[in-house]
Amino acid sequence: MKQLKMVIALSALLTVCAASANATVIIFDNNNGGVKAGTPENATAANTGNPNYWGASLGFSGFNVSGGYSTNDNLNNGNFSRSAITTSNVDQDYNPNHGGLGVCSESATCSGSSDSFQSNVGGSANKDEVLFFDFASAVTLDTVWFNGDHKETVDGSVNGAITNSANALFNIFTSSDGASYTNLFSNQVQPTNLEYISTLLSQSYQYYAVAASGYGAHMSYVEAIEYTQVPEPGTLALLGLGLAGLGAARRRKA
């Protein structure tokens, strides 16, 4: 009877570890609006000031963020190579409120309005900014929240045609090697209620990219992300071996 209880307990633990790891929400705008629960984090960066943190890369717990912009490529759908992206400094800006992560494609020092996350930079339909999220291990990216240009929501109308140039649109890309990226959505999408995009992903990746796109020039910020850590294979293997061993012992006793 004791062995049966242990088998049941181990089986339940294995199921929980495999299917329901806790989601993590990291907030980039100092939690001054929008996301109800999560952990506000300040980046580890080469420079501080205005914007708050900026440099070639921003370090957070479990992942790094870098970025750049496309040339002759509207990042609204399809695949792209990371090597084709022109690298820029990136920043975390939350003064004034409703900021977040941006790309500094127009100024190496991220000065002025260049610190936002822009589509159609300089009025060019083929120049979109992109943020790369490189995780320490494979995760499932669940949700990406956005702010407008220091305002709660991104540009646009939830009732109008998505092709309206007044709408800020985005796409999310996945990669297994950090070099070649594949679009998650068949075309650029508008954030739900002009605030967030749910990926509905079940597969995990170590590398993600978020691109600002759309039919017009818009300034936004990535406000927060939610991701789920994939259990370590070794942990699942040990639990599985323990379960198998108890099952074998029970059969021998019978």
Give the pLDDT confidence of 132-174 residue by residue, as tens digits.
999 999 999 999 999 999 999 999 999 889 999 999 999 999 9
The pLDDT tens digits of the residues spanning 13-60 come to: 444 444 456 899 999 999 877 787 899 999 999 999 999 999 999 999
C-beta neighbour count of 178 within 10 angstroms = 15
Higher pLDDT, 231 or 12: 231
With cut-offs at 50, 70 and 90, classify the pLDDT of residue 250: low
The whole-number pLDDT of residue 125 equals 86
Average pLDDT over residues 50-77: 95
Helix/strand/coil for 53: strand
- Specify the pLDDT at position 3: 54
What average pLDDT score do residues 111-133 get? 93
| Cis peptide leading into residue 231 (ω within 30°) | no
Higher pLDDT, 115 or 77: 115
Mean pLDDT of 102-114: 93
Task: Name which of 78, 196, 92, 94 is nearest 128 in CA terms.
Answer: 78
Residue 119 has pLDDT above 90, yes or no: yes
46 with 56: CB under 8 angstroms? Answer: yes
> What angle is formed at CA 39 by the lines to CA 235 and CA 42, rounded to 5 degrees?
110
Q: Which residue has tokens 């000031």?
A: 49
**Mean per-residue pLDDT of the chain:** 87
The gap between the terminal CA atoms of the chain, to the nearest Å, is 12
Q: What is the mean pLDDT of residues 230-254?
A: 54
- Report the distance separating Cα 106 and Cα 139, nearest Å: 32
Name the CA radius of gyration of the chain, rounded: 21
Helix, strand, coil shares of the chain as percentages rounded to 5? Answer: 20, 40, 40
Q: Are 67 and 110 in contact (CB under 8 A)?
A: no
Q: Are 211 and 197 in contact (CB under 8 A)?
A: no
Q: Can you tell me the mean pLDDT for 207-228?
A: 97
The confidence score (pLDDT) of residue 159 equals: 87
- pTM of this structure: 0.85
What pLDDT score does 74 carry? Answer: 84
Compute the distance between CA of residue 54 and CA of residue 211 in angstroms, rounded to an integer: 19
> With contact defined as beta carbons under 8 Å apart, do 59 and 45 qualify?
yes
Q: Please count the residues of the chain.
A: 254
Name the one residue in this structure whose structure tokens are 């049966």. Answer: 4
Q: Which residues of 101-124 are buried (b: 16+ CB within 10 A; e: fewer)?
A: bbbbbbeeebeeebbbbbbbbeee
pLDDT in the model for residue 101: 98
